Amino acid sequence: MHNSLLVDVSSTSTMPNGVTPNIDTHAWVHQPNSANDTDIVKTRKLLDSSIVYAWHTVQFKCKPPALTRTRWVWRLAGAYHSSRYTSRLMEEAAQRFAASGRQNLAQWAAQKAKEEAGHDRLALLDIQSMGYDPIAVVQALVPSAATSLVDSLTRSVQASNPIDCVGHAYASERLGTFQGEKYIQSVEALLPPNICATRWLRVHTAVGAEIKHVEEIIEVVAQLSERERNHIAEACYKTALLRFTPPKDGYISNEELQHILKPLELPAHMQAKFNCKSLTA
C-alpha cells in the first residue's frame, strides 16, 4: 500500500452530513486481549489513516444538498439497501474463513452476521413512520451509493481470500462513530412531532454499538500479519472512498423525490408512531 496513506491521523476533517470527526489513536481506552498494546495502537492508526487519506483524495465539486424530511426518506432507502445483504454476506464470509482454517476471522464474521441481522427492517420501519409504504419506497428509490457499497462487499466476500470484507466493515463502523446524539437530534428536529424515524440511525452511530464493533475489529486485525493488515487498510480506504465520493449524476432533487414519494403515502391510520429512545437493537 502506498506510503502516503500513512498520514497524520490526529488531524481534524469535515465529513459529509456536517460530521466533524477527530480521528485520534487514543480516542478510546483499549483493554487488550490477544494482541499487545503496541499492535493495537499501530493497527488503529493504520486503519484510521486509510479513512483520512480517502477523505483527502475525493474532489468535492459540489456540496451535498441540505437534509430535509423528504431527503431523509431517500437516505433511509439507501440505509435499507446497504443493510439488506450484510448479514447473509458475512455468514458466507464466516464459512469461507472457516474452510481455510482462519478460525478467528470466521468467528468475527459469524458474530458480525448476527449483529447486522434485521437492520434492513429498522430502515423499513423508519420509512413507514415517515408516512410511506416502505416496500414501495425501497423499490422506487435505489441510491447508487448503496448499490456500489453492496457490490463492493459482495466482491470482497466472494474473492479467493475474503479478507477485504474486514476493511469494508471497519470503514463503515468507524464512520458511524463520528455521529452521535447531537446529530440524531438534528435529524429528529426535521421530522414531524412524535414521529420515530431514526431507529436505523441510532443503531449505526456512536450511541449504538459502533464503538464496540470498531474495537473488536482492531483486536482481530492486530493479530494478523503486517501484509494482511496493510491489505485490510487498503480495502478500508477503498470503502471510505466509495462512501465519500459524490454521485456521478449529481444529487436527486427534492422536487423529484416529492414527485416519486407522493403516490407512495400511506393512510394516516397505517403510519407507525413510536418513541425512538425507548427502542433498543
Per-residue pLDDT tens over the stretch 43-60: 999 999 999 999 999 877
Q: Which residue has the higher pLDDT, 270 or 276?
A: 270
Rg of the chain over CA atoms, in angstroms? 19
The rounded distance, in Å, linking the Cα atoms of 191 and 276 is 12
| Mean pLDDT score, 136-160 | 96
Per-residue pLDDT tens over the stretch 160-197: 999 999 999 999 999 999 999 999 999 999 998 889 99
Q: Which three cell numbers stand for residue 15?
A: 465529513
Lowest mean pLDDT segment, chosen from 1-10, 97-106, 141-150, 188-197: 1-10
Residues 6+ apart with CB under 8 A from 66: none
The rounded distance, in Å, linking the Cα atoms of 84 and 117 is 9
Per-residue pLDDT tens over the stretch 89-124: 999 999 999 999 999 999 999 999 999 999 999 999
Burial of 209 (0-12, 13-18, 19+ CB in 10 A): middle
Residue corresponding to grid cell 502506498: 2
Spell out the domains of the chain, with CATH numbers in brackets.
Answer: 3-278 (1.20.910.10)
Per-residue pLDDT tens over the stretch 214-258: 999 999 999 999 999 999 999 999 999 999 998 888 899 999 999
The three state secondary structure string of 171-191 is HHHHHHCCCCHHHHHHHHCCC
- Backbone torsions φ then ψ of 12, nearest 5 degrees: -110, 135
What pLDDT shows up at residue 193? 86
Q: Are 258 and 70 in contact (CB under 8 A)?
A: yes
- Backbone torsions φ then ψ of 33, nearest 5 degrees: -120, -100
SS3 12: strand
Whether 27 shows a pLDDT value over 80: the answer reads no
- Backbone torsions φ then ψ of 265, nearest 5 degrees: -70, 140
Report the predicted TM-score, pTM, of the whole model to 2 decimal places. Answer: 0.84
**Percent of the chain scored above 90 by pLDDT?**
74
Q: Which three cell numbers stand for residue 81?
A: 439497501
What pLDDT shows up at residue 194? 86
The rounded distance, in Å, linking the Cα atoms of 280 and 268 is 25
Q: Name the average pLDDT for the chain.
A: 85
- 63: confidence class by pLDDT, cuts 50, 70, 90: confident
What pLDDT shows up at residue 179? 92
What pLDDT shows up at residue 268? 72
Whether 12 shows a pLDDT value over 60: the answer reads no
Least Cα distance to 11 among 3, 23, 19 occurs for: 23
The rounded distance, in Å, linking the Cα atoms of 136 and 117 is 22
The rounded distance, in Å, linking the Cα atoms of 257 and 234 is 35
